[in-house]
Amino acid sequence: MNRTLDISGFGRISFRKGTLDDLETVIDIDESLFPDGQSYDAETFFFYLIDHQTDVIIVELKNEIVGFLVFRPFSNTAGCVVSIDVVEKFQGKGIGSALLEVAESLSRKMSHATMILQTPVNNSHTIHFYEKRGYKKMRRIHGYYQDGTGAWEMEKIILS
């Protein structure tokens, strides 16, 4: 994956496939963004990095990881954004949107008609991020996260 994006005031970021060498940094970023019980554990990220059906896309700025995407097929007709994480000081610069575009592109290549994702019901910032990009709340899943927080399952039609 050779893709770059200019971030105003920061420079050019690049995208690449994640490797096991990224495990510790990915965990640190996720834990910095989500409370205990909503962040993923090391075993889960390890699985995603070695699983052949999962794509972990890393975003780097000057050789520093500033964000990542975890994408995998949900079914034969839908892709799933497992996680999009962007280091807080780089949020609002288009990185999350670019990662979402990558996920949707990967899903279209698999001939998926829809994309789905789950996001905490109490995270209005993230819900707004996805709604602004065409995702709609489909159902509420009570107790989805380990800490008991519910999730909105959101969906977007990507192929008509």
As beta bridge partners, residue 73 has 79
Report the DSSP beta bridge partners of residue 55.
71
pLDDT of residue 1: 60
Q: What is the mean pLDDT of residues 122-141?
A: 96
Torsion of CA 130, 119, 28, 58, to 10 degrees: -40
Q: What is the mean pLDDT of the chain?
A: 93
**What is the mean pLDDT of the segment spanning 52-71?**
96
Q: What is the pLDDT of residue 3?
A: 66
For the chain, report the end-to-end CA distance as a whole number of angstroms. Answer: 26
**Residue 11: per-residue pLDDT:** 79
4-46 pLDDT, tens digit per residue, is 666 666 778 899 999 999 999 999 999 999 888 888 999 999 9
Segments of the chain assigned E as strands: 3-7, 11-17, 55-61, 64-73, 78-86, 114-120, 136-141, 151-157
User: The domain 3-157 is classified under which CATH number: 3.30.420.40, 3.40.50.1580, 3.30.300.100, 3.40.630.30?
Assistant: 3.40.630.30
**φ and ψ at 30, to 5 degrees?**
-60, -45
- Largest interatomic CA distance in the chain: 41
Residue 49: the pLDDT is 96
Model confidence at 158: pLDDT above 70: yes
Alpha helices in 51-113 (DSSP H): 95-109
pLDDT score at 89: 93
